[in-house]
Amino acid sequence: MEHICPVCGYDELQQAPYDAEGNESFEICDCCGFEFGFDDIHDGHTFESYRNKWMSVGAKWLFKQSEPEVWDLNKQLKNIERIQPMYVPFWKKRCTPKWIEAEKVLASNSTDKVP
């Protein structure tokens, strides 16, 4: 079974981006280049923020050899609607509201103290 990228809708991922426990696959999407477990956890991107960044630079395919001869970005993006429930990474399943607030404080200024 192939899986859908929640960033760009590419429907030929070899693994689910996250398993049932939310552990990341570290697979890189051939289309948008999102790496599950890196771009989200290390770089702090949401699917939406990465999608916006990717589209703002022209929505180019990362691995050209995988790009179909005829490609419709809007049609591909509609694949995202088929992901139910949406993939949830492990670290998001364990976050509490206080942890999320602390993360926001540190993201804006890494030298701030978190209560």
- What is the band of 20 on the pLDDT scale with cuts at 50, 70, 90? confident
Phi-psi region of 42 (alpha: psi -120 to 50; beta: other; left: phi over 0): alpha
Whether this prediction's pTM lies above 0.75 is answered by no
Provide the β-strand partners of residue 13.
Answer: 3
Rg (CA), the chain: 16
Residue-level pLDDT at 110? 61
| Residue 29: half-sphere exposure toward Cβ, Cα within 13 Å | 28
- Within 8 A by CB and 6+ apart from 69, the residues are none
Residue-level pLDDT at 19? 84
Average pLDDT over residues 41-47: 81
Average pLDDT over residues 42-56: 89
Share of the chain above pLDDT 70, in %: 72
- Cis preceding linkage at 97, omega within 30: no
3-class SS at 73? helix
| Euclidean distance between CA atoms 55 and 58, whole angstroms | 5
